[in-house]
């Protein structure tokens, strides 16, 4: 599943390609995504100019000149592909996972521009497209989400207040988008390892020092991954054929039975499960 860094890379790719471009035509071959695509989706987007491309958490937001906003969530397996009408590109994927070429199946939505088409592919159909007709509704939609982990709002004071009497383990807190936005399983593992926090530890039991470390490494890990172009777990490639490189900097994720990378630590990484998600821990470092 794409996490915040991967979605940020897709947003940047789209920004380079479709900002200030007019949508010529929308073709929908399957409306049955996670949420059914609304009936007037085509009529509301066709002929519209895209004035901005932004992102919040794992959502891509297309701003249109009719004051509508199109939210795109890639779900578990969604990818966006750019197909040039004039030349055949070897690589079409704007994302960093799954096929770097446009698959023949599961192409559900096509957004056509003058010289190219953006195609949404999603085998599992957990992604979705949603239209909102005002900035007020856009703001309201994201009210239930916590601040982004890279934001200055995700700081010691905020975390300390939210963790008062919180019995939930810290790993599940990081994955709770109502608490903090944009952290998925891979990065939660990396953040907790670098913060020297055991993922099973109850949030209310974190020390002030651990909270400071949590805020610090949440920002550091996600920003590093964005800089390195995302994480390549299953042949992640971008449209230029370049893999994300953050996986080369993993300290704990997917390193089961390997020695801990921390200096002077003799521990080994173990794999366990929290809420059916893989968790990688060095029990010597993460107390």
Q: Are residues 176 and 106 part of one domain?
A: no
Please, which pLDDT band fits residue 101 given cuts at 50, 70 and 90? Answer: confident
What mean pLDDT is predicted for residues 166-195?
A: 96
Each residue of 22-69: pLDDT tens digit? 999 999 999 999 999 999 999 999 999 999 999 999 999 999 999 999
Catalytic residue among 58, 194, 219, 255, which? 58
Active site annotation includes 255: no
Residue 150 lies in a domain: no
Q: What is the pLDDT of residue 105?
A: 95
Active site annotation includes 157: no
The parent domain of residue 161 ranges over 156-282
Q: What is the pLDDT of residue 87?
A: 78
What mean pLDDT is predicted for residues 229-256?
A: 59
Catalytic residue among 2, 8, 190, 255, which? 2
Q: Are residues 108 and 62 part of one domain?
A: yes
Q: Are residues 241 and 188 part of one domain?
A: yes
Q: Taking 80 as the threshold, does the pLDDT of residue 209 lie above it?
A: yes
Q: What is the pLDDT of residue 261?
A: 95
Q: Taking 80 as the threshold, does the pLDDT of residue 171 lie above it?
A: yes
Integer Cα distance of 38 and 36 in angstroms: 6
Active site annotation includes 6: no
The domain that holds 252 is classified in CATH as 1.10.8.50
Q: Taking 60 as the threshold, does the pLDDT of residue 112 lie above it?
A: yes
Residue 62 lies in a domain: yes
Average predicted confidence (pLDDT) for the chain = 91
Q: Are residues 88 and 58 part of one domain?
A: yes
Say how many domains are in the chain. 2
Of 111, 141, 171, which one is at a domain's C-terminal end? 141
Q: What is the pLDDT of residue 229?
A: 66
Q: Are residues 114 and 190 part of one domain?
A: no
Q: What is the pLDDT of residue 231?
A: 47
Q: What is the pLDDT of residue 96?
A: 64
Of 141, 171, 196, which one is at a domain's C-terminal end? 141
Of 141, 164, 194, which one is at a domain's C-terminal end? 141
Q: Taking 60 as the threshold, does the pLDDT of residue 100 lie above it?
A: yes
Active site annotation includes 147: no
Each residue of 69-86: pLDDT tens digit? 999 999 988 999 999 888
Q: Taking 90 as the threshold, does the pLDDT of residue 238 lie above it?
A: no
% of the chain exceeding 70 in pLDDT: 92
Q: What is the pLDDT of residue 13?
A: 86
Q: Are residues 171 and 134 part of one domain?
A: no
What mean pLDDT is predicted for residues 264-280?
A: 96
Q: Taking 50 as the threshold, does the pLDDT of residue 200 lie above it?
A: yes
Q: Are residues 99 and 180 part of one domain?
A: no
What mean pLDDT is predicted for residues 128-138?
A: 98
Catalytic residue among 34, 110, 268, 277, which? 277
What mean pLDDT is predicted for residues 158-162?
A: 98
């Amino acid at each position: 599943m794409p996490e915040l860094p991967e979605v940020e890379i897709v947003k940047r790719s789209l920004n380079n390609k479709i900002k200030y471009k007019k949508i010529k035509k929308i073709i929908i071959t399957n409306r049955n995504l996670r949420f059914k695509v609304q009936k007037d989706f085509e009529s509301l987007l066709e002929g519209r100019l895209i004035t901005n491309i932004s992102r919040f958490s794992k959502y891509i937001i297309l701003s249109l000149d009719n004051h509508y906003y199109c939210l795109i969530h890639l779900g578990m397996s969604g990818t966006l592909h750019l197909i040039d009408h004039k030349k055949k590109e070897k690589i079409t994927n704007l994302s960093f996972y799954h096929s770097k070429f446009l698959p023949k199946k599961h192409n559900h939505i096509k957004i056509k521009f003058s010289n190219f088409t953006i195609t949404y592919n999603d085998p599992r159909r957990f992604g979705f497209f949603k239209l909102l007709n005002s900035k007020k509704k856009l703001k309201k939609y994201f009210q239930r989400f916590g601040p982004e982990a890279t934001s200055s709002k995700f700081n010691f004071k905020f975390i300390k207040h939210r963790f008062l009497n919180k019995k939930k383990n810290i790993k599940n807190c990081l994955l709770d988008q109502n608490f903090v936005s944009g952290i998925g399983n891979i990065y939660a593992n990396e953040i907790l390892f670098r913060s020297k926090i055991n993922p099973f530890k109850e949030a209310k039991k974190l020390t002030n020092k651990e909270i400071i470390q949590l805020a610090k490494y949440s920002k550091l890990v996600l920003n590093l991954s964005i800089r390195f172009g995302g994480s390549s777990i299953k042949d992640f490639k971008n449209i230029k054929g370049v893999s994300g490189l953050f996986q080369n900097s993993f300290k704990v994720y997917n390193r089961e039975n390997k020695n801990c990378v921390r200096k002077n630590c003799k521990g080994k990484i173990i794999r366990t499960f929290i809420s059916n998600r893989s968790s990688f821990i060095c029990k010597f470092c993460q107390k």
